[in-house]
A and B are shown apart, each in its own frame.
Chain A
Amino acid sequence: MAFFDTIKNIDRRVIFLFIALSVIVPLLFNVIFPERITPIVQKIFDKIEALPEGSRVLISLDFDPSTAPEQEPMVDAVIYHCCQRNVKLYVMALWGAGQNIADATINRIITTHFPNKVYGVDYVHLGYKAGNQGLINVIITDMKKMYTTDVNGTQIDSIPMMRGVRSLKNMDLIAAFGGGFPGLKEWILFAGDPGNIPVAGGVTAVSAPLLYPYYPNQMLGMMGGIKGAAEYESELIRKYPDFEKMPHGGLEMMGPQAVAHVVIMLFIIIGNVTFFIDRKRKTRAN
């Protein structure tokens, strides 16, 4: 009974310790599980795969460092895929911190792995602008009303890939990353729907259920949390084996996440077993 009471009144610090170990150990041993792509992620992959060379893809980074570990692998994978497909990338942010993340991402993926890509010809960084959904509302009709220069202060008209881009309607795909406000939902409501532009993207696992109502009619596809990123990465590896040499955070973090989930489930089972035993004991005592 002493053991039962110990389990029943388990200290939360013990749970914390188990969770810490379940994350640290798989990370140390680089535990990677195979992933199978689900239809909601496959649709994004297929769309980018089907884009002709020179198509325009807008990438919006609408998150900050708190959710970056979950969302950066998605962004990296999509940007890598777009670069492989030779599409033009227009990077921007609706969140202030998104500009910093965008710069770091461009440096990490495009500059490092695609040195032949030319700034202003193959990709451009438009930076952050205030206004949330109001910004989308303006650039859906006229980009230049909000973006007169890029993030470096270069005049928009002198950037070769901005020629012919009047508004968001000239984009072939909007890939927005971020489940907060403003985020993927605002891109669907203020750009995708009124402009009839395909919108896809990625959000944190906790935000994913809120966006299911928009799939598949208003939202092309969605990556939900690390699992979504891992699915996309596994498909990328299958199609572009070179991607395996790159850091793929989604697949790497699925190991710790899987073990942590199993540990949480074990604790839930323990909690329920002790609950039923306790209830039985109380019934007997009465």
Chain B
Amino acid sequence: MKRQVPLLITFIVGAVLVVAAFIPHNPFGRLGENFSLYFDIIAVFAFFLGGGNLVRIHSGRFFRGLKFYFMEIKKQGGFWPLKMLIAFPFYAMGGIEDRRGKDWFFSMVTLIGFFVMLWAGLFKIGNPGGWQGNVTAPGSLFQDFFMYVFTPLKATMYSLLAFFVASASYRAFRAKNKEATILLVTAFVILLGRTPAGYYVTFWLPDTLSFFQVPNLANWIMGVPNLAGQRAIIVGISLGVISMSLRVILGIERTYLGQDKD
């Protein structure tokens, strides 16, 4: 019963949505709309689930680390409460490490970040419109945290990619064989074509040879070989999704239900 009911729901919803796509008239059209609406409502609960899961995992790790730290300090004797306060920064930064308490400091930072943002957003602290206003209104604490803490952090993390891409390009783009040479030349054309430098390198070519101007070559690579490859991939993925969806709807694929036992 624990497995039959979810399988039945999946079959009905999946079948109705497939039929609704081909016959968008009532009752299938209305049912399809309603099922999409239910999906949106259920999606909201994923936030509670995600938040709860984050707190559960990181609080467990944090308290385990804190307990281990407390025991370590107490073992050393002396006036342990003072020792505990003094040693905390060193311990937190990884001075004392143990399998049981590893990375607990990062869990603490995660939990603080989570609860501070939750507090600022939930109670709309400093919101110009008060409780009724928009949570992300300029001037609210939530928006300030977002703009001045979250945004620089995320942008920094992403921009680090530039350094690794450069380093990886230096090591990986070697003309070792025919295929690697084609890849190297393509990368060169795209890199050059995506900058104004590409234009200046080949702008002197006559109109009859304009195809060989680097920006035009880059556009051709994106619009022809890349397009063909991407289309092939999309067709392949789509066929895979269709067959997988049929397996799920018909109850052949059951891994999404968890462990495969009744």
Contacts and interface: CB of A to CB of B under 8 A. Distances in A.
Contact of A104 (B134, B147, B192): B147
A16 B166 contact: yes
A64 B170 contact: no
A146 B175 CA distance: 54
Contacts of A69: 155, 159
Interface residues of B, number: 59
A66 B197 contact: no
- The B interface, classified by DSSP as helix, strand, loop or mixed, is helix
A251 to B, nearest CB: 10
A240 B209 CA distance: 33
Contact of A134 (B39, B129, B194, B199): B39
B178 to A, nearest CB: 15
A263 B147 contact: no
A205 B33 CA distance: 35
Interface stretch (B92-100, B136-144, B242-250, B252-260): B136-144
A100 B40 contact: no
Contacts of A66: 154-155, 157-158
A114 B85 CA distance: 54
Contacts of B215: 36, 38
A213 B234 contact: yes
B53 interface: no
A173 B196 CA distance: 30
Contact of B40 (A23, A142, A146): A146
- The A interface, classified by DSSP as helix, strand, loop or mixed, is helix
A107 B167 contact: no
A156 B171 CA distance: 56
A104 B40 CA distance: 26
B57 interface: no
- Interface range on chain A (Cβ under 8 Å from partner): 35 or more
A15 B167 contact: yes
B222 interface: yes
A264 B167 CA distance: 8
Contacts of A100: 136, 143, 146-147
B163 A265 contact: no
A264 B191 contact: yes
Given A69-B155, A131-B43, A137-B36, A272 B166 contact: no
B202 interface: no
B124 to A, nearest CB: 11
Interface of B: 33, 36-37, 39-40, 43-44, 46-47, 129, 132-134, 136-138, 143, 146-147, 150-155, 157-159, 162-163, 165-167, 169-171, 173-176, 184, 187-188, 191-192, 194-197, 199, 215, 219, 222-223, 226-227, 230-231, 234
24 contacts: A12-B170, A18-B166, A19-B166, A23-B162, A36-B215, A66-B155, A97-B146, A100-B147, A131-B43, A134-B36, A137-B33, A209-B226, A209-B230, A212-B222, A213-B227, A260-B162, A261-B191, A261-B194, A264-B170, A264-B191, A265-B188, A268-B173, A271-B170, A271-B174
